Amino acid sequence: MNPILRPAPLPPAMAAGVDPGRAALRVTHDPTTLVGNTPLLRLAAIDRELSGVEIYAKAEWWNPRGSVKYRAALNMILAGERSGALTRETILLDATSGNTGIAYAWIAAARGYRVRLALPASASPERKRILRAYGVDLVITDPGDGTDGAIRKVKELYAANPAAYFYPDQYSNPANWRAHYEGTAPEIWAQTEGRVTHFVAGLGTSGTFCGTTRRLRELNPALFAASFQPDSPFHGLEGMKHMPTAIVPAIYDPTLADENLDIPTEEAYAMVKRLAREEGLLVGVSAGAALAATLSLAQRVGRGVFVTVFPDSADKYLSESFWNED
């Protein structure tokens, strides 16, 4: 069976006697238990023009507060709690383009921690409003410097008073990529019933690509893994890095990719609108880039089961001007 849409399974004790129409409903005292087990969507309208190709995407907006970054943020916070570095007395400090920061903010609010984040001024207005709604102390950095400017600012703040902060450093923390090694990859393997032949993911922190690829390669050494990045230093793909000109994350391993694709911002925008109009999916800009990269690879290869990751939905990008363009 091809898993077009597979919700997170219920524990047997909860599933027993539950009406099938309500089987996806859950009761929990801890919303962080809802992170992960996102559906895998078959992009049937997109891939029908390619004979012998199946294209699937992980719908990561099904995570609480709506992005793939909840996997890594939760894993880094749990690691900080276990080590004792994160306490009620310390302030969680990190650089973000928005989604990881929102994930930190949500989890921290639920667990009683304070959060301070450096964020480029170029981040979408929706992201800034969400972070402020959670009570985050925002340090806004130069938009021209992107996330690299935010990283430099955070390092400066941490160096000035390290005892005041828990600094998970999402760009260097192995708990980031391990969230995908332990969660995203096994989900993809189970949802495709081991049929996945190609995996495609973007480079920001690189945690999604590196962690998922490592585990899928253990399960299938013949897996073809393709990463993608913006095609220039100046781009509109929030959260993504142009590695040749950016501060390269310590967790990034370029040897994992069989191929690295360069995606223009305009192509990503076009794919966002195509997904809305052909698949009924309102997704974020990086998801548009993911589809562009996956289609490019699938068209060249001609056959296979291609899986990519749609990091978030469009709700944080609706103010972008490209929606108004034909």
Could you give the residue numbers annotated as active site? 69, 286
Q: Would the CA dihedral through 317, 321, 322, 326 be positive or negative?
A: positive
E-only strand ranges, the chain: 40-42, 53-59, 91-95, 114-120, 137-141, 165-166, 198-202, 224-230, 259-263, 304-310
Q: Encoding tokens for residue 56?
A: 């699937």
What is the three-class DSSP state of 283? strand
Query: How many CA atoms within 13 Å lie on the side-chain side of 124?
Result: 21
CA distances from 315 to 24, 126, 243, 283 (A): 23, 8, 27, 8
What is the three-class DSSP state of 167? coil
Strand bridging mode 53-59 / 40-42? antiparallel
Distance in angstroms (rounded) separating the CA atoms of residues 324 and 301: 34
- Residue with tokens 């690299």, as numbered in its chain: 148
Query: How many helices (H) and strands (E) are present in the chain, helices listed first?
Result: 11, 10
Q: At what angle do helices 99-111 and 125-133 cross, to 10 degrees?
A: 10
